Structures are given as structure tokens and as C-alpha cells.
Amino acid sequence: MQGDRHQEVCRIIDQSLIATASVAPSIEDAQILREHLLTCAQCNAYLEASRRAIATLGGFAFEVDPGLHGKVLAALTVRAEQLDRRQKRSQPTWWHCLVAVVLTVAGSFVVSDAGRTVSAAFHIAPKEMGTGLMAFWITPSICFCLLFFILPLSGGMNKKGISS
């Protein structure tokens, strides 16, 4: 009987500690609690321990923001869009490839014209100068220009410069 009384009082103590305006302990429960705490050291100790536990939790918030999941998903979506835009910006466009071809052709004509002048100044045969220009200027320029076409089709390069 005494054990049941202690359990009842502990239940009332728990309810009084979590009481809010909408769920307040009844007047009868408050009266039972007052009378019992005057005579029972065990229930007084339980009340004090419960108050200390609640006081230590005073700085913690246990409610989770209901919009937290949505905020996290929105932040991840924004980050994915930023990375996608950055990746699109880093890949050369076809416009860049066209400019590379034009510059390669124009540079080849300029070097060819300069080669004629140099061949006359150093008394080198024009055929030998043309072969040298083809081997050391025009062919490497065209190969380098082809990279502008091949890299966007293969997925480009990563940050370390390795083709992916």
C-alpha cells in the first residue's frame, strides 16, 4: 500500500514538473502532494533530483525545426546548381573552338609569310623552310586546335588537369 502511494506521488511530481497552462495538476493531486511531501523524505529526494535534472536541461532545446528538412534540401539544391553552372562555365564552348581554328589558320599564314622572308635572308631553300614550318609550327598548331574539339566531347578535365 505504501509502495503504491509512493508511485502515485512520483506520478504527481512528474506531472507537476511538466505542467503547462493546458495540463495543470488537479487541486486534489496538489493537496495529496503537499501532504505527502511533509512526511516522506524519499519523495522529497525524488522531487529535488527531478528539479535538478530539469534545471540542467534548461539550456537545451529538444524541439526540431519542422522546416529543417526542407531547408537542408533547398541548400543542397542551390549548391548542386552552383556546381553545375561552374562546370558549364569551365568547359570550352564551340565558340572557343572556332576562335582556336581561326587563330591557327591566321597564325599559319603569318608564319608562312615570315618564313619566306627568313629563307631569303638566310639563303635557305623555300622548300626546306616550308617543310620546317609544317613540322614545327602548322602541324602542332592544328593538333593543339583539335584538342579544343576533343576535350568537350570527352567530358573535359577535372581540377587536376586529368581528362575524365
What is the reported pLDDT for 91?
55
Q: How far is CA 130 from CA 100, 101, 112, 127, 137, in A?
A: 22, 20, 7, 5, 10
pLDDT tens figures, 37-68 = 888 888 888 888 888 877 776 655 555 566 76
Tally of CB atoms within 10 A around 61: 7
Q: How far apart are CA 40 and CA 33, in angstroms?
A: 10
Q: What is the pLDDT of residues 116-164, one digit of tens each?
A: 888 888 888 888 888 888 888 878 888 887 777 777 666 655 555 554 4
In this prediction, what percent of the chain has a pLDDT beyond 70? 73
Q: Report how far Cα 156 is from the mean position of its chain's Cα atoms.
A: 22
> By the 8 A CB rule, do 9 and 40 touch?
yes
pLDDT tens string 92-108: 567 777 787 888 888 87
pTM for the predicted model, two decimal places: 0.35
The radius of gyration of the chain from alpha carbons, rounded to an integer in Å, stands at: 42
pLDDT confidence of residue 127: 84
How many CA atoms are closer than 13 Å to the CA of 5, on its beta-carbon side? 11
Q: How far apart are CA 18 and CA 104, in angstroms?
A: 80
